[in-house]
Structure 1
């Protein structure tokens, strides 16, 4: 099976969050660049560098059989010809639970190459002040 080609950073981002919601490791890894310098920082501070480490981190998360739902909002996007940065709020909930955690701040960096747009960095951390974040204007695209 050939790896999908994402024609925009938005398309790659949508595929990333859909793979996360489904707990689909192969779909998740199809979004990542094959560059060994890729980085994933998960909430709580664990940093994974390189495809093998990132694959293992997602495999462990998905093997817990917990369905994670993520709704993103308040995007701030910057894009050039070969690089795009998306800073979003992630609203995370666990399937079957009624409570929603406070939003997290995520930064997704995409690069464009021969295989289309692919993620090279995903960094998620807890938001220190959610009240101020939700009052900011949305969406913003900076060129």
Structure 2
């Protein structure tokens, strides 16, 4: 998705572009989705909290050096205000040679409306215990 279109995109479009950039191992596209604020935060499963562009970029560069991540987000639970959106999803992580998800992760993505449009300010993911839940959860939007 062209960056110009994302300038006025919705949190849902930014989230779709995020998972698309991960699947393509496109570090530049991924980092363009983050807010310019140095207080941005990223927590990978089982890892320490990363704050700021340099730390977050370095971590994604290391992760994506092994290739794209094939993540299917599902069971979105969303809370939106005029300037903030919080999305909680279950991420099914697939390896290309396996049709079943290898692991599922619970992730929270926080977006803020900035002068550049909607941007990621927090990504927090953790490995979920037990089997992935299969029951559908209705999408909920709080205003």
Q: What per-residue deviation string (whole Å, max 9, x for no partner) do you get for residues 25-53 of structure 1?
A: 00000100010000000011232110000
- Which sections of structure 2, spanning at least 5 residues, go unmatched? none
Contact 1:103 1:126 in 2 (8 A): yes
Is contact 2:35-2:114 (8 Å) kept? no
Number of the residue aligned with 1:56: 58
Is it true that 1:138 corresponds to 2:138 in the alignment?
yes
The offset of 1:136, in angstroms, is 5.3
Query: Secondary structure in 2 aligned to 1:12?
Result: helix
Task: Give the Cα–Cα distance (whole angstroms) in 2 for the partners of residues 118 and 46 of structure 1.
Answer: 22
Give the structure 2 partner of residue 75 of structure 1.
Answer: 76
Give, in whole Å, the separation in 2 of the partners of 1:98 and 1:79.
33
1:22 aligns with 2:32: no
Q: CA RMSD in A?
A: 1.9
Gaps of 5+ in 1: none
Contact 2:94 2:103 in 1 (8 A): no
Aligned residues: 141
1:56-105 deviations in whole A, cap 9, x for unaligned?
000001112x3321111100000001110000010101223444223210
Structure 2 length-normalised TM: 0.89
